[in-house]
Amino acid sequence: MHDDRSLVESRLKRVLEERVRPAVHPVSVPLTAGIWTAPGEPVPVAEGLAAPRTPIAAGEAWGAPWSTSWLTVSGTVPEEWAGRTVEALIDLGFDANMPGFQCEGLVYRPDGSPVKGLHPRNQWVRIAAPAVGGEEVLLHVEAAANPVILDYHPFLPTELGDKATAGDRPQYRLARLDLAVFDETVWNLVIDLEVLGELMAELPVEGARRWDLLRAVERALDALDLQDVGGTAAAARAELAGVLASPAEPSAHRISAVGHAHIDSAWLWPLRETVRKVARTTANMTALLEDQPDFVYAMSQAQQYAWIKEHRPEVYARVKKAVAEGRFVPAGGMWVESDTNMPSSEAMARQFVHGKRFFLDEFGVENQEAWLPDTFGFAGGLPQIIRQAGSRWLLTQKISWSQVNSFPHHTFWWEGIDGTRIFTHFPPIDTYNCSMQGKEIAHAVRNFKDKGRARHSLAPTGWGDGGGGTTREMIAKAARMRDLEGSATVRWERPAEFFAKAEAEYPEPPVWVGELYLELHRATLTSQARTKQGNRASENLLREAELWAATAAVRTGFPYPYAELDRIWKTVLLHQFHDILPGSSIAWVHREAEATYAAVAEELTGIVEHAQRALAGEGDGTVVFNSAPHARGGVPAGGARPAAALPAAPGRCTAAPRAEGGFVLDNGLLRVTVDGRGLVVSLVDLATGRETVAPGAAANLLQLHPDFPNMWDAWDVDRFYRNTVTDLTGVDELTLAEDGPDAVSVRVTRSFGSSTAVQTLTLTAGEKRLDLGTEVDWHETEKFLKTAFPLDLHTDRYAAETQFGHLHRPTHTNTSWEAAKFEACNHRFVHLEEPGWGVALVTASTYGHDVTRTVRPGDRGTTTTVRASLLRAPRFPDPHTDQGHHRFRHALVPGAGIGDAVREGHRINQPERRVPGGGEVAPLVSVADEAVVLSAVKLADDGSGDVLVRLYEAHGGRVRTRLAAGFPLAGVQVCDLLERPWDEDADRVRAEGEEIRIELRPFQLLTLRLRRA
């Protein structure tokens, strides 16, 4: 037989595109339209409906960047359309290739009730089925002129990312405003041909099934009269019925489709626009659920439900109804789909506390899965957090983006730093925006790495990132692939149904231990430094506010600010979303974040100050409060003492000039040599005589790299950035800034490019650390600024703090997996150690860092260099990223064990406070072993007055110790993160009078409810 395959396939493509698809709406009449543009930010619905309209027609321009226009469209159903299905077709000027990334609309009825959203792939509004001739049509559209930030030539710098700089030129032209007949038979023919054509393209040419499909398609095209598509569509469909009815092979891969719209809570649009994106998408999805009985839709992020509840209660009522029916599934159990690398221990826990509690309170639903399809890697402490939030599964897709190594599993146990395991799935379809194309389904089958042991995978289905969700076309295609020869089988299922099946069929999956490192988007640990500093400051202030408010409530009757803390926590958690905290959003988002963090700091500082004044009592002296989880300067952890009662710092500081330039600083514990360049060329631990700085090297060295990644400017730093480096050693000024017995410091000023840096090196009496302050007035473009510490240490691994503990990473690059981790995350410290002696670099606000090792040719010793990442200057999506003034604080701690690193990391993040008064404040709770860190001390969220304590083992070892309550104790209850009884670890806690005996495994987390007598 002659091979005419290409001929038939090309015929199918043209007929489908030029004849069949246009015949879905065979006849139409224009609608009349009027427009009003709101003068500023979006207005309430009633105001938008009532505003006067100016006539507008298809082809006319509308929509300055970020503006909102209200369209009214009206018309009459022609008499001859009576009994047919009629739809309005409203094209705001869409580009079909950019769903979620451009203009969108929400359709309202005249009474103000929402109908559905309008998106590039969803432009229809059902008017009637069947229609009545002469029926009047009147609809209103709230149209958002969101500009295209990520265009066909991606990553070009643009000023469109902030309303203040975007200009007022109209962005769009109305393309179509019509009333049209909808031919369902032709529409079904389109779906039939798409499904079979796409499947055919994925089957082997030598296989019989491909040729069966080809001949069926050929017969269907022969049956179709291209001058009368509507009249012959049924005959064409009949020719396809046989091949569509052929069942899948028993061994076929099984895909659980979950309706989905991954809506970034902010990214290339501001938070206020996400509120509307969610309303538009959920209006669409609830309408689809009413029409499609098999369809299931899942939406994560409790914040987004809260937005609908507040701003679109009519849509929220539909959502609640669909949730109650089990069709609209609250997924993930987090407040937002946050970054998971940078949030603190407590913040990561609160993501689940507030997310799961919202779903329980609003819907009575407790979901079992963590749902994070787009997060940029996963910290090693997360499995324990997920487990103690009452969940057991994790879904993500982003690891498939890794540049170097292909992750070896799609379904596996993920084991965290404490040994907790979570059943985890990476969808092999490699997208969280599946559109049910045949190539996507076939890719999932070919790509699935667990063949022979498992056969289930999940497909999040619907337009996402900017929203839109699942379409009726996707649902129809899935229906045809429910049981179709040559294809995987597709079923709409809830996430929990998928996970239960996957877990049951794969009882012994492989295990992956430690962090899930994404080999991409590493620069998100540094971009937008102000956002990251605002986050860290907010986390620290929240811990303080809870601690002192709880202490004051128990001791003085201080009114505990439940509502205020709840609201502020949710604000901070929102800004940990995976495109806000990582610094990958437009300028508008980060400008607002900076203002929000300032307001949060002011309010929390007020709470702290009021509580501390209530505790400090009367007196003319000063009371020193220590919120850190370790005693400091004579003040107990979580307590306060009058300054007059504190012991003087031991020893004294001295500073002497060097003949070669620079200074030698000494406090009896450390001797620091600063050369004429203002660099630390020696740092000696006087107790051991051990030199910290590698021979011939200099520490606290600012280094500047070019930084122009191949893609994803704000997200990425590519390895080749290291090929070129400039050491900033020039000095404008070098002075002894402080010279007293309690502290000595050296200040050095440098200029480079268009920027300046001022570094202050301080040695304090009685402290075995060198404090490092760095102020940068930054005006570089596409540059990467780091500060380097070459250490005379031989080690093949180092520790970096993460949630509820720390993890170890290699210092070498033996394998591609290790080499790929050339930029990584830490929280408060990085620690390196030879047996018996180590060094810690602690930080108040930076996250990104790198560690490398070399062998010196002279003495053959090893130099291990730690570098903290300070600033970047990408131009997309915010062309002015990080410009301006910044302050950073670090400290280098020689002779540090892991316990010293933990303690000093908390010290730099939780500075003492001095308050007028005369009283001493005993800690509300205290623990006898420094290896146990109190992550939170607060009152229980239920208003009972119980004291809630969260703690964990921080050194990586086992510990038995006692927790003392500073109040009469009636009992203790082990809880989960949501403060509910947790029986799994009850045997590790025993009350003995006012003390509680506890046993902890390495990095184990415990939450205790202490009932007050």
- Can you tell me the distance from the alpha carbon of 401 to that of 376, in angstroms, rounded to the nearest whole number? 9
The sign of the dihedral angle between the CA atoms of 305, 307, 313, 315 is: negative
Three-class SS state of 661:
coil
Q: Which residues contact 253 (CB under 8 A, 6 or more apart)?
A: 444, 445, 448, 455, 456, 457, 488, 489
Chain center to CA of 448: 26
Q: Are strands 511-513 and 411-415 parallel, antiparallel or unpaired?
A: parallel
- Can you tell me the distance from the alpha carbon of 662 to that of 659, in angstroms, rounded to the nearest whole number? 8
* b (16+ CB within 10 A) / e for 733-754: ebeebbeeeebbbbbbbbebee
Chain center to CA of 123: 30
Q: Which residues contact 657 (CB under 8 A, 6 or more apart)?
A: 663, 664, 736
- Can you tell me the distance from the alpha carbon of 970 to that of 282, in angstroms, rounded to the nearest whole number? 48
What pairs with residue 965 in β-bridges? Answer: 925
- Helical segments of 448-575, H only: 472-480, 495-505, 529-556, 562-574
Chain center to CA of 884: 26
374 classed as catalytic: yes
Q: Are strands 297-299 and 328-330 parallel, antiparallel or unpaired?
A: parallel
- Can you tell me the distance from the alpha carbon of 373 to that of 462, in angstroms, rounded to the nearest whole number? 13
Among the listed residues 178, 183, 374, 976, the single catalytic one is 374
What pairs with residue 745 in β-bridges? Answer: 738, 762
Three-class SS state of 547:
helix
Q: Which residue, 850, 858, 805, 857, is CA-closest to 825?
A: 850
Using only C-alpha atoms, the chain has a radius of gyration, in whole angstroms, of: 31
Burial (Cβ within 10 Å: 0-12, 13-18, ≥19) of residue 635: buried
Tokens standing for residue 725: 């480096």
- Can you tell me the distance from the alpha carbon of 168 to that of 833, in angstroms, rounded to the nearest whole number? 58
Residue 375 and residue 787 in contact, taking contact as beta carbons nearer than 8 Å: no
Residue 1003 and residue 804 in contact, taking contact as beta carbons nearer than 8 Å: yes
**Rounded (5°) CA angle 716-336-821:** 30
Tokens standing for residue 858: 């002279």
Q: Which helix (H) or strand (E) holds 784?
A: strand 783-791
- Can you tell me the distance from the alpha carbon of 499 to that of 404, in angstroms, rounded to the nearest whole number? 28
- Can you tell me the distance from the alpha carbon of 793 to that of 83, in angstroms, rounded to the nearest whole number? 83
Q: Which helix (H) or strand (E) holds 52?
A: none
Beta-carbon count within 10 A of 35 CB: 20
**868 phi, psi to nearest 5 deg:** -95, 135
Beta-carbon count within 10 A of 106 CB: 24
What pairs with residue 588 in β-bridges? Answer: none
Adjacency order of strands within the sheet including 654-657: 654-657, 663-666, 670-674, 680-685, 690-691
Q: Which residues contact 148 (CB under 8 A, 6 or more apart)?
A: 95, 98, 101, 102, 160, 171
**155 phi, psi to nearest 5 deg:** 70, 15
Residue 654 and residue 666 in contact, taking contact as beta carbons nearer than 8 Å: yes
Tokens standing for residue 635: 């003040």
Q: Could you give the residue numbers annotated as active site?
A: 374
